[in-house]
């Protein structure tokens, strides 16, 4: 089919979800696509900077947003391979794969065999100082407790308290599972964020038995085993660069959409008004933007849809990256990650030592680390200016690690209202939202059916497939 004869598709938003949608539409032969991004750059939160060290010793590779994607969810890996990036994929450094938890002011290693909160090896659990003996025994009660009968959604906190106890929630689940989503565990939807634990309980009557059975069924991986977290040699933005280079569609940056009109009686049901006043007709529109942005666009003609879109909550987060000369640091901590429970009363949420997590993030004689701030835990710290926020992080690092060295470089990244909150019942609300969308209007992105790179890519695939099917039926 000639491009001129194809349906006109407009994608609003040039993050990983919007670009993935364009890619999978192109794979199906649909290229009459225009993608509009308000910012001057593409990629959304996938942003990598190459920072020259001040002493000319090389460069740092600094991530402002996510630094990796999960290998257990296949869609991110699949996209990277489709783009020819197989030889650019890197795993975490194997010698330092352990994650630590701050416990009584001291970093302690997460016990071997802990799958987020589920113990799959019992001796390491019994030996860890992170949990009291009653707390450990309470976790093991999951093996004999009856399974929940209701199919309704529940919060992460309710689930963990019910299956493993309050101590496991505080010390493990809250920093590891709620921390991934910058969420409040008492409001976080289990169904929308960790559905495999629901399935484990339903299928085996015990979460522990269910996870062990899934592990046994999977068997030993064949070939080269990937670490749980995967990145790219040139940084996570390399995925965006490869996408843009291989897309054969019209991409317009510095080009916001100020209005979207819907009129099903027109030949093209949708019309976009750009910031410069230009009108663009479209047969289908993909809203690959935060839900509150989508709400503004549809509000003039879909009030009920707009109200439901606005109801999705977002929180703001930030990161502070610091680089040090290794010879000047005095850290005995030898891992790449530390998570911090709320009960430790710290003003930072987690720390990643990037130069230990992935190769090539800093020259051998330097250490690059990143502290995570804000979210639902401590939103107030984001009111500080960059200098004060950096000093706060340095004070916290000194208290936790004894790190007193002067950084040779620092950088702050802020993500205002950029982290969607999947409250209990989120997927049910999404079903209602999607039912209110007229034909040809599709929602795609982290605010809707999965956060993280793999889930955004998966949504891009599904959106492209839905558009392809829509016009195949229309032309049948």
pLDDT tens sequence across 234-293? 999 999 999 999 999 999 999 999 999 999 999 899 999 999 999 999 999 999 999 999
Residue 473: predicted pLDDT = 59
Cβ atoms of 374 and 317 within 8 Å: the answer is: yes
Question: Is the model's pLDDT at 95 over the cut of 70?
Answer: no
Position 223 scores a pLDDT of 58
Q: Which two tokens stand for residue 232?
A: 């790219």
pLDDT at residue 180 in the model: 82
| pLDDT at 357 (0 to 100) | 92
Q: Which of 262, 276, 372 is nearest to 316 (CA)?
A: 372
**265-to-108, 261, 268, 409, 472 alpha-carbon distances in Å:** 64, 12, 8, 58, 20
400/421 Cα distance (integer angstroms): 29
Contacts of residue 25, Cβ cutoff 8 Å, sequence gap at least 6: 9, 31, 33, 249, 464, 467, 468
Q: Residue 80: what pLDDT?
A: 97
What span, in angstroms and rounded, lies between the C-alpha atoms of 419 and 423?
12
Domains along the sequence of the chain with CATH: 3-44+237-312+423-474 (3.50.50.60), 48-95+314-420 (3.90.660.20), 109-218 (1.10.3110.10)
User: Residue 392: which pLDDT band, with cuts at 50, 70 and 90?
Assistant: very high
* 93 or 363, greater pLDDT: 363
Residue 93: band (very low, low, confident or very high) from pLDDT cuts 50, 70, 90: confident
Please, which residues bridge with residue 476 across strands? none
Q: Which residue has the higher pLDDT, 96 or 244?
A: 244
Q: Are 75 and 461 in contact (CB under 8 A)?
A: yes
From residue 82, how far is each of 47, 79, 205, 354 by CA, in Å? 21, 5, 39, 27
Say if residue 147's pLDDT is above 70.
yes
The C-alpha angle 62, 252, 469, rounded to 5 degrees, equals: 100
Residue 37 predicted with pLDDT over 60? yes
3-state SS, residue 222: coil
Residues 6+ apart with CB under 8 A from 456: 15, 16, 17, 20, 444, 445, 446, 450
Contacts with 193 (C-beta within 8 Å, 6 or more apart), sequence order: 156, 177, 180, 181, 183, 422
Predicted confidence at residue 221, as pLDDT, reads 56
pLDDT-derived band at 474 (thresholds 50, 70, 90) equals: low
**Which pLDDT score, from 0 to 100, does residue 206 have?**
96
- Residue 333, pLDDT > 80, answer no
Q: How big is the chain by its Cα radius of gyration, in Å?
A: 23
Per-residue confidence at 385, pLDDT binned at 50, 70, 90?
very high
Residue 348 has pLDDT above 80, yes or no: yes
What pLDDT does residue 76 have? 97
Per-residue pLDDT of 106-136, as tens digits, reads: 999 999 999 889 999 999 999 999 999 999 9
> Look-up: residue for tokens 């790219």?
232
Average pLDDT for residues 292-302, to the nearest whole number? Answer: 98
Residue-wise pLDDT tens digits, 57-82: 899 999 999 999 998 899 999 999 99
Contact between 128 and 184 under an 8 Å Cβ cutoff? The reply is no
Question: If pLDDT is split at 50, 70 and 90, which confidence band does 226 have?
Answer: confident
């Amino acid at each position: 089919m000639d491009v001129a004869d194809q349906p006109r598709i407009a994608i609003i938003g040039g993050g990983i979800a919007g670009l993935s949608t364009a890619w999978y539409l192109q794979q199906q032969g649909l290229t009459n696509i225009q993608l509009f991004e308000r910012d001057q750059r593409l990629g959304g939160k996938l942003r990598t900077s190459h920072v020259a060290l001040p002493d000319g010793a090389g460069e740092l590779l600094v991530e402002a947003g996510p630094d990796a994607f999960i290998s257990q969810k296949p869609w991110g890996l699949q996209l990277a391979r489709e783009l020819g990036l197989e030889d650019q994929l890197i795993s975490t450094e194997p010698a330092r794969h352990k994650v630590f938890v701050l416990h009584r002011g001291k970093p302690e290693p997460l016990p071997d065999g802990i799958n987020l909160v589920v113990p799959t090896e019992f001796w390491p659990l019994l030996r860890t100082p992170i949990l009291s003996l009653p707390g450990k025994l309470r976790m093991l009660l999951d093996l004999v407790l009856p399974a929940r009968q209701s199919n309704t959604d529940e919060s992460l906190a309710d689930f963990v308290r019910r299956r493993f106890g309050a101590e496991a929630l505080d010390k493990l689940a809250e920093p590891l599972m709620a921390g991934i989503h910058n969420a409040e565990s008492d409001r976080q939807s289990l169904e929308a964020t960790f559905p495999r634990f629901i399935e484990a309980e339903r299928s085996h009557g015990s979460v522990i038995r269910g996870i062990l059975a899934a592990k046994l069924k999977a068997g030993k991986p064949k070939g080269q085993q990937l670490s749980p977290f995967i990145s790219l040699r040139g940084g996570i933005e390399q995925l965006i660069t490869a996408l843009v280079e291989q897309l054969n569609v019209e991409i317009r940056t510095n080009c916001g959409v100020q209005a979207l009109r819907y009129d099903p009686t027109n030949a093209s049901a949708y019309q976009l008004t750009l910031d410069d006043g230009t009108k663009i007709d479209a047969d289908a529109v993909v809203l690959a933007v935060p839900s509150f942005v989508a709400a503004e666009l549809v509000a003039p003609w879909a009030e009920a849809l707009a109200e439901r879109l606005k109801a999705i909550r977002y929180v703001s987060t930030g990161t502070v990256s610091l680089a040090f000369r290794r010879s000047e640091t005095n850290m005995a901590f030898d891992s790449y990650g530390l998570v911090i429970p709320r009960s430790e009363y710290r003003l930072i949420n987690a720390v990643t030592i990037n130069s230990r997590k992935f190769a090539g993030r800093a020259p051998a004689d330097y250490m690059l680390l990143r502290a995570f701030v804000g979210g639902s835990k401590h939103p107030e710290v984001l009111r500080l200016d960059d200098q004060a926020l950096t000093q706060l992080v340095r004070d916290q690092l000194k208290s936790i690690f004894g790190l007193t060295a002067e950084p040779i470089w620092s950088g702050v990244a802020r993500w205002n209202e950029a982290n969607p909150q999947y409250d209990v019942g989120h997927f049910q609300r999404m079903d209602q939202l999607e039912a209110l969308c007229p034909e040809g209007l599709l929602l795609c992105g982290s605010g809707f059916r999965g956060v993280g790179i793999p889930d955004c890519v998966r949504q891009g695939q599904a959106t492209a497939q839905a558009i392809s099917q829509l016009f195949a039926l229309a032309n049948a």
